[in-house]
C-alpha cells in the first residue's frame, strides 16, 4: 500500500498552486496592457473642429475635439483640445495644447504672439518653436486638412516638426 499524502505536504502543494494561480490572474491585465499596441494599433480619425469661415486668417483659436481612446471596445473617448491657426485661405496649423516639458496646458497670448506655459515658465513662439524656459522641444502639432468646407484635425496624429 502507498502512503497517503500527509496533511503538511497537501497544504504546501495547495499553497503553491493558489500562489501560481493568483500570479497568473494578476499579470494577465498587465501583459494585455503592455502588448495592446502591438496587437491592435490605435486608430487615427479625422475630427471636424469647425467650418472654414468660422476662423479668421492670422488668428489662433482653441478648438475641442474627440480623441479616440485606446479602449475602443469600451466605447471611451477623450475630450482634448488644440490651438488652431488659420494661415491663409486654405492653410491651417494645429498645435497640441500641452507643453513638451511636463505636459501642462499652454495658453495663447495674441497680443504677444506667444504660447505660455504657466507651470514652469515655458515660452513658445507663434510657430511652436521654443523661445524660453525649460521645454526641450517645440510644441507638437496635428495634421490638418480642409474637406467640404470643414476643418479637420487628425486625432492621434501628433508630430514634432
**What pLDDT is recorded for position 68?**
60
Residue 33, domain extent: 1-41
Q: Is the pLDDT of residue 77 over 70?
A: no
Asked if residue 107 is part of any domain, the answer here is yes
Closest CA to 50 of 31, 63, 35: 63
Same domain, 67 and 23: no
For residue range 139-154, list pLDDT tens digits in order.
Answer: 988 899 999 989 998 8
> Which residue has better confidence, 44 or 85?
85
Q: What percent of the chain has pLDDT over 90?
A: 39
The whole-angstrom separation of Cα 21 and Cα 4 is 25
Q: What is the pTM of this model?
A: 0.67
Asked if residue 161 is part of any domain, the answer here is no
**What pLDDT is recorded for position 102?**
87
The whole-angstrom separation of Cα 14 and Cα 147 is 64
Residue 65, burial from CB neighbour count under 10 angstroms (0-12, 13-18, 19+): buried
Q: Is the pLDDT of residue 43 over 70?
A: no
Average pLDDT rounded to a whole number, residues 106-116:
92
Q: Is the pLDDT of residue 41 over 80?
A: no
Beta carbons within 8 Å of 105's beta carbon, 6+ residues apart: 81, 97, 98, 99, 117
And the C-alpha cell for 70? 485606446
Average pLDDT rounded to a whole number, residues 40-49:
73
Do the beta carbons of residue 119 and residue 135 sit within 8 Å?
Answer: no
And the C-alpha cell for 145? 486638412
The whole-angstrom separation of Cα 152 and Cα 157 is 12
Same domain, 52 and 100: yes
Asked if residue 23 is part of any domain, the answer here is yes
Amino acid at each position: 500500500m502507498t502512503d497517503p499524502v500527509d496533511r503538511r505536504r497537501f497544504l504546501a502543494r495547495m499553497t503553491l498552486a493558489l500562489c501560481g494561480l493568483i500570479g497568473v490572474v494578476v499579470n494577465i491585465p498587465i501583459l494585455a496592457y503592455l502588448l495592446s499596441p502591438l496587437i491592435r494599433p490605435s486608430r487615427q480619425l479625422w475630427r471636424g473642429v469647425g467650418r472654414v469661415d468660422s476662423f479668421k486668417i492670422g488668428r489662433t483659436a482653441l478648438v475641442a475635439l474627440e480623441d479616440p481612446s485606446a479602449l475602443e471596445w469600451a466605447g471611451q473617448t477623450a475630450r482634448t483640445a488644440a490651438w488652431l491657426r488659420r494661415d491663409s485661405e486654405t492653410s491651417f496649423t494645429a498645435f497640441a495644447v500641452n507643453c513638451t516639458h511636463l505636459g501642462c496646458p499652454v495658453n495663447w497670448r495674441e497680443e504677444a504672439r506667444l504660447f505660455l506655459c504657466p507651470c514652469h515658465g515655458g515660452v513658445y513662439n507663434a510657430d511652436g518653436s521654443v523661445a524660453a524656459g525649460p521645454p526641450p522641444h517645440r510644441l507638437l502639432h496635428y495634421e490638418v486638412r480642409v474637406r467640404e468646407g470643414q476643418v479637420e484635425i487628425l486625432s492621434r496624429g501628433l508630430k514634432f516638426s
